[in-house]
Each structure stands twice: as C-alpha cells, then as structure tokens.
Amino acid sequence: MNITRENIDALNAVVKVDIAKEDYNDKVEKILSDYRKTANIPGFRKGHVPMGMVKKQYGKAVLVDEVNKLLQDALNKYLTEEKLDVLGNPLPKPQDNLDWDADKLSFEFELGLAPEFDVNLKPKKAFIHYNIVAGDKMINDQVENIQKQYGKLVSQKEVAKDSEITGIFKNEEREIENTVTLTLDKFKGKATEKKFVGAKAGDVIELKTKGLYDDEHELMHALKLGHDDVHGLDINVTFTITEINERVLADLDQELFDKLFGKGVVTSVTELKEKIKEDAEKQFTQQSDQKLLNDVTEYLVENTKFDLPSVFLQKWMQTAGEQELSEDQAKEEYEKSEKSLRYQLIEGKLITDNDIKVTMDDIKNHAKNMIKAQMAQFGQMNPTDKELEDIAARVLSNQEEARRISEQIISQRLLAMYKEKANIKTKEITYDDFVKEVYGDK
C-alpha cells in the first residue's frame, strides 16, 4: 500500500491511496473460505459448495468491504501520523469505471485543511469586566419584599393606596375572565388609582386596557392573554372586587432570621442586609462573567481573520447529514454555520495553546457539586459522598449530559484564562446601571 498527498493550496489537498492485491487478498480468501463452510446453496451439502460458486456469489461484495476497511484504517493512520488537522471527513473522488479485478486499485480523497492563524487577546480597546454591586436601594427593597412575603394579610372594608386587591377581570366579547391579585402601584396612571381608592368588595371598576400598565407583561398576567394578543390591545374590561387586604409587614426579628437562614446564622438587620448583599453579588458575578465571556467570544469571531476551504465544506455538507442536500441547500447550511465553525476553530486553538484539559474526574466532581447545590435547595444539606457518587453516575450515563458538563468546564477555564491574559479593565457598577448600560434602559 502506498499513500501520497498533493497540496492544492493551503486549505485543500488530495490524498491518493494505492492498494495492491496482496494487501487484501489473503483476508478475502479466508472470509470466502469461511463462507464456503457455512453457505446454504440448494443442491450442495453444507461445506461442499464449490469455491468458484462462492466467489461468484460473494466475492465482489467481500472484496469491496475489505478494501473499504483498509482504506479507512490507512487514511486514519495517515492523518494521525502526518498530524493533519482536517475539517469534516475525507471525500472520495467518484470513480465510475473502477476495475475491481485489477492487481492495483487507486483511490483519491479530497481533504479540507484547517487554516493556520493567530489569536489576539489584547485588542487596543480593553474588554470590560463589570464588578456589579448591590446598592442600598436594592438591598432595602429586598428587605421589604421579605417582610411582605412573611407578613400577614388583614382584611379591609375599602381599598387604600397600599391594599392588595383580589378580583376578576372580564370582557365577554373576548371571553376574558381571570381572577388576579393586584396592587395599585403597578398601574400606569393616577387616574386608575383614583377609581379604586375607597371602593368596596362587590364594586365593579370599568377600565381601558390601553395604557393600563407600563409593562405589557403585567397586562398579559392580568388578562391571561398571550404576548401577541395584548400588543396594542384597546378594549374595555371590568374588574369586580372580591377581596381587599392590607399586608402587614413581618417584624425583622430573630424568628424571621431563623426562618430565612437557619438558627443563629443571622442575628441582626445589619447581618441580614450583609447576607442579602452577599447572595445578590454572587448572582451578579455569574452575569458579569457571562457578559465578559460573550464579549470576548464575539470579538474573537469578528476579528480573528482566516480563510476556510468553503467549497470543500459545502461539498462535504451535501452528504454529511442524515439526508443528502442539494448544492444550494449545502451552501445555505454552510452560510448559517460558518460563524459557529470559525469559533470552534478559535476555541480549539485556545484550548491547545493554553493546555486546557478536562478529565473524567473533573466532569464527575463538577456533576457532584451541581447535585449537592440542587439538594441544598430542597433542604438536604449534608448528602453522603456515596449518595453523590451514585446520582452522578446516573447523570453521567447520559452521554449528552456528560458532554454538556464538559463544555461548561471548558467555558469556565477559558474564562479564567481570559481574566489572566486578555486586555481587561474592571468597572464597578450597580445592578440597575449595569442593566441600563448593557441591555438599554427598558
């Protein structure tokens, strides 16, 4: 067997594989001999079928199968030994008139080669890593939310500005009938608030949906309609009051602190606020890290320039999936996936250059930590290592889940590498200002 390569250009090559009869003949003869021992052909006893008849019936199929196995093994070994970084899989060049009886068989395969490129993690304009802090207003609002959540309801005879009002929104024509509990501060205008203040259980308030709320999601919840249904909705609805309550805030005492965090963990309002700040900023760190990861990824895809063997990849995509694609379909698929392919190559280079590895122990330990955190949410604070091992084994028996966890670890390690090596500046910001700056003031 002989393998040679012709480089067409930096991204395309053709590999030629010459296979001589002696490379496969002994194996083919042995398989046919085994077939002869077991073949059931009418008119002949098992094991006594003439070899000529076995070869006539099975010879071509066995020959083709063995040659294809040889080709596959030879190509894989060649690509490994030559350290060729190929995209997709080798594509066999069509051969319509191949003489399978010849003493030498020649096959050609097209290769798409991965491009060589450099990755720059130090652009002139630094990436921003946000240090998101919980401001006093956010902390105080959260304290009040806790007091409301653990407070009690006291029945009222009439609606006041801070009442919680339960009632039924109705519109017969649109078949709307939905029971909700609401507070007046959610309404857009003071005129709506005035309609409610002083009303009693049984009273019917007439309202217009247009301009009723600042946020359409509030209207979706109130009327139990979909997003498209409430967009621009301008109809009359009624709200029949069924219940009026005042929510009395819970006292910020030791009983409440123990309910929230366990006995003696928090012993004062100051410690409560510190705990709220700490928990909030842990979540903010995740958002900040994800923002940095997204920004670096987007920058690398847009600014790391290299060519791809696009013609080869489109040709490969025609036959790579479950269903064969036409040339136009393959071109469309390539255009959709080009950015993703570029990032895969960039990520692969970063992983190689920075010696980032993920072992099975890494995946198992990550899974156990995830499981432990999930169990803690349900009050199981001290699971045994055996429990964690058993659950992790079940989770990781799903190959898709194991792959997903591996990708999470890779992302974490890439992020750590970016923090160490990329051009980054830190910006301290409150969460509200972070939302405005990153997502716009919505």
**CATH number of the domain that 83 lies in?**
3.30.70.1050
Residue 130: is it exposed, middle or buried by C-beta count within 10 angstroms (0-12/13-18/19+)?
buried
Q: Pick from 58, 82, 113: which residue ends a domain?
A: 113
Same domain, 73 and 197: no
Q: How many domains does the chain have?
A: 3
Residue 52 lies in a domain: yes
Do 15 and 104 have their domain in common? yes
126, 300, 345 from 305: Cα distances, Å: 19, 9, 12
Residue 299 exposed, middle or buried by CB count within 10 Å (0-12, 13-18, 19+): middle
CA 147 to chain centre: 37
Instruction: Look up the CATH number of the domain holding residue 309.
Output: 1.10.3120
In a domain, 264, yes or no: no
Structural domain containing residue 41: 2-113
Check whether residue 72 and residue 184 sit in a common domain.
no
Model pTM score: 0.74
Give the H/E segment covering residue 312.
Answer: helix 310-320
CA-CA distances (angstroms) from residue 333 to 96, 111, 218? 28, 19, 40
The CATH number linked to 160 is: 3.10.50
In this prediction, residue 441 carries a pLDDT of: 55
Residue 260 lies in a domain: no
The SS3 of residue 177 is strand
Rounded CA separation 219/224 (Å): 8
Rounded to 5 degrees, what are φ and ψ at 242? -110, -25
What amino acid is encoded at 203 in this protein? Answer: D
240 inside domain: yes
Nearest to 153 by CA among 249, 257, 260, 253: 249
Is-contact 24 32, C-beta < 8 A?
Answer: no
Q: Which tokens go with 305?
A: 């320039």
Indicate the residue among 248, 270, 288 that finishes a domain: 248
Are 283 and 223 found together in one domain? no
| 154 alpha carbon, distance to own chain's centre | 46
pLDDT in tens, the chain (442 residues): 999 999 999 999 999 999 999 999 999 999 998 888 877 777 777 777 888 888 888 889 999 999 999 999 999 999 999 999 999 999 999 888 889 989 999 999 999 999 999 999 999 999 999 999 999 999 999 999 999 999 999 999 999 999 999 999 999 999 999 999 999 999 988 899 999 999 999 999 999 999 999 888 899 999 999 988 988 899 999 999 999 999 999 999 999 999 998 899 999 999 999 999 999 999 999 999 999 999 999 999 999 999 999 999 999 999 988 899 999 999 999 999 999 999 999 999 999 999 999 999 999 999 999 999 888 878 777 889 899 999 999 999 999 999 999 999 999 999 999 999 999 999 999 998 999 998 875 4
Looking at the structure, tell me whether residues 244 and 283 fall in a common domain. no
List the one residue out of 120, 420, 407, 138 whose CA is nearest residue 292. 420
Specify whether the backbone of 214 is left (phi greater than 0), alpha (psi in -120 to 50) or beta.
alpha
Q: Are 226 and 349 within one domain? A: no
The contacts of residue 36 (CB under 8 Å, 6+ apart) are 47, 49, 51, 54
Whether residue 143 lies inside any domain: the answer is no
Q: Is residue 265 part of a domain?
A: no
Together in a domain, 288 and 185 = no
Does residue 259 form part of some domain? no
Sequence-separated (6 or more) residues with CB below 8 Å from residue 307: 10, 11, 115
For 407, other C-beta atoms within 10 Å of its C-beta total 11
Do 219 and 343 belong together in one domain?
A: no
Q: With respect to residue 220, please indicate whether it lies within any of the assigned structural domains.
A: yes
The amino acid present at 408, given as its one-letter code, is Q
Residue 189 sits in the same domain as residue 325: no
Residues 25 and 71 reside in one and the same domain: yes
Does 310 lie in the same domain as 428? yes
**What does the alpha-carbon distance between residue 283 and residue 35 come to, in Å, rounded to a whole number?**
67
The reply to whether 302 and 400 lie within a common domain is: yes
Residue 87 phi/psi, 5° resolution? -105, 140
